[in-house]
Structure 1
Amino acid sequence: MSNVPANIRACLFDMDGTILNTEDIYTEASSELLAKYGKGPMTWDVKIKLQGRPGPEATKIMIQEYDLPITPQEFIAESIKVQENKWARTKFLPGALELLKYLKENEIPIALGTSSNSINYQRKTQHLKEGFELFGDHIVTGDDERIPPGKGKPNPHIWFTCLDSLNTERQLKGLDSIKIEECLIFEDGIPGVISGQNANAYVIWIPDPNALEILAGKEHEIIGDKGEIISSLHHFDKTKFSL
């Protein structure tokens, strides 16, 4: 790739479907809820529109796509009930924990930017502290007050907030600031990929194989020269970015 950045100094990560298997659990829970109304199951042509979007936005899309006879508030409340006993099954996707540990050991700053709200973040990660403690204080959730209302993914604000968190710590240590152009952003969903591109970072896209089937080759138009596609974090080439 001609536009591969030469000097990567930080890595910013999405969570759901990028480092955790939560997208599979979301699909399972959504199908259960849809069945209650004689709808579904959740299919990837719809799911691809939801990935990475803030909860309220994703909820509106679900109700519209499946013509559900409930309000967004009712949908969210029912979703929480269906999901709450499933989050204990979350686990790191192949290569994710190993990469996070490697970056931390090599003193490469990392931050997490997830559209999940703080309550869901805790439910998904409380049994995975070994990995998420590596992010330190640099975790930004979808309901973070530092993100303006209506500015979730595909807007770039969550990544700027992640980087600001890292740079604030660096300034306290007397270190220079990192620019967004010096960051890799790891994402699995299209809204997240676009948000990373809108931030002017280089994006490592790890799409689900089911999403690739739906996209049917259009994924290369989406990523363009502002990033690249890999099948798993296990296959991420650290040497390519001198990490």
Structure 2
Amino acid sequence: MAPSRTDFPPIRACLFDMDGLLIDSEDKYTLCTNAILARYNRPPLPWSIKAQMQGRPGSSAGAIFHQWAQLPISREQYLVEQAEIQRELFPSTKPLPGVEKLLADLQAARTPAGAKVHVALATSSHEANFKLKTTHLESLFAVFEPHRRVLGDDARIAHGRGKPAPDIYLLALQTINASLAEGEKEITPEECLVFEDSVPGVEAGRRAGMRVIWVPHPELLVEYTGREKEVLAGRTGEGGQVDLHQLGEIDDGWAERLPTLERFPYEKYGMVV
């Protein structure tokens, strides 16, 4: 067990996942999946499987799902049926509790020295699905400038390097640093705060050398009861035996779990609103 660090610099960048963190799309994914499972007389998707799929790129999540589901249709046919239901459900996504206030507050947030706090989006959602889920929430997502949105099909992320690999969060930071105002000092990973709901996403943030806020779905938390500290350290083994030196330690102070994004403790992270 590592001693808990307390001498962190103020947060200068907040990097956000999207599905299940900013909007209720994770629940809609479950509805889509269960509708198809019922169509073929298969049981509903259990959280033990969904927990493994969450946060991952579509191809990785799909492999986990199909190995469990054993559907009598091809993956291609499944995707066709899934897309049909998603087109119905995704345009009705809603912000989760606390999201609207948090994003609004961050627009005015500063460090104690007066430096601006920047935001970026880092989601495994591909562009077409991103548009389905967010077009009706344009004012909410306007806080993420287009050049600071990193999506799952971004060509700059190498194949196989989606979450829990750190690449998407490192790229999100890169988009911020590439567009800082003249005279602004480059932001380092430890000055970044990653917001995640998924276990692979938490690990991605930790592997990127960033601090992390974990806001899990209540059902996901049930699946990880007793292992919460492992999740916060990024040590659940989601990313395999790669780059282990970048992982955190139990109780090292780099990550914490919150029940929702309501009443966010800005002062704790060196932000003044």
Q: TM-score range by the shorter chain?
A: over 0.9
Equivalent of 1:95 in 94, 98, 123: 98
Task: Give the gaps of 5 or more residues in structure 2.
Answer: 110-115, 233-249
Equivalent of 1:161 in 167, 171, 192: 171
Percent of paired sites with the same residue: 40
Structure (1 or 2) with the greater helix fraction = 1
On the 8 A contact 1:18/1:186 being kept in 2, the answer is yes
Describe the superposition over 1:122-169 as per-residue Cα deviations: whole angstroms up to 9, x where unpaired.
Answer: 110000011111111210000001111111000000001101100010
Matched, 1:239 2:248: no
Report how many aligned residue pairs link the two structures.
Answer: 242
Matched, 1:186 2:214: no
Partner of 1:203: 212
On the 8 A contact 2:9/2:190 being kept in 1, the answer is no
User: 1:83: how far off?
Assistant: 1.0
- Call closer, same or farther: CA 1:174–1:6 in 2, change over 3 Å: closer
Equivalent of 2:28 in 22, 25, 29: 25
Q: Distance in 2 between matches of 1:11 and 1:145?
A: 22
User: 1:235: how far off?
Assistant: 3.7
What's the TM-score, normalizing by structure 1?
Answer: 0.95
On the 8 A contact 2:11/2:117 being kept in 1, the answer is no
Partner of 1:10: 13
On the 8 A contact 1:45/1:214 being kept in 2, the answer is yes
On the 8 A contact 1:59/1:75 being kept in 2, the answer is no
On the 8 A contact 1:153/1:191 being kept in 2, the answer is yes
Q: Distance in 2 between matches of 1:3 and 1:184?
A: 15
Secondary structure, aligned partner of 2:178: helix
User: 1:105: how far off?
Assistant: 2.0
Partner of 1:146: 156
Query: What is the Cα-based RMSD across aligned positions, in Å?
Result: 1.4
Describe the superposition over 1:45-68 as per-residue Cα deviations: whole angstroms up to 9, x where unpaired.
Answer: 111011100011111111111112
Partner of 1:229: 257
Secondary structure, aligned partner of 1:84: helix
Q: Bigger CA drift: 102-111 or 218-227?
A: 218-227
Partner of 1:51: 54
What's the TM-score, normalizing by structure 2?
Answer: 0.85
On the 8 A contact 2:36/2:82 being kept in 1, the answer is yes
